[in-house]
Amino acid sequence: MEKKLDERYYALLRRLQETDFVLVELTLYLDTHPNDLQAIQQFNQMAQLRRQIACEYENEYGPLLQFGHSYSRYPWDWKDAPWPWQV
């Protein structure tokens, strides 16, 4: 069964990708600057924002992560395509 994709679907995925990019960059920076309090605070803010966006996405479109990191609705919705990494 294929999910109906709308503008909000793509907007949330884009926000997730942008937030993930910032988190990766901050992680790399903090690996070499572990005492930068401002960067740590920014990392934590972005991590919280990512959780909020992911929760919003999952409430509307289904799970993002497997192995118990995301809940499934009834009926089991992992079978529904496309998956986020396919768009």
Question: pLDDT for 64-83, tens place per residue?
Answer: 877 666 766 676 666 676 77
C-alpha 50/C-alpha 16 separation (Å) is: 6
Residue pLDDT, tens place only, 36-68: 999 999 999 999 999 999 999 999 888 887 766
The residues, ordered by sequence, that sit 6+ positions from 78 with a Cβ below 8 Å of its Cβ are: 62, 63, 66, 72
Domain spans in the chain, listed from the N-terminal domain onward = 7-81
CB atoms within 10 A of CB 19: 18
What's the predicted TM-score (pTM) here? 0.78
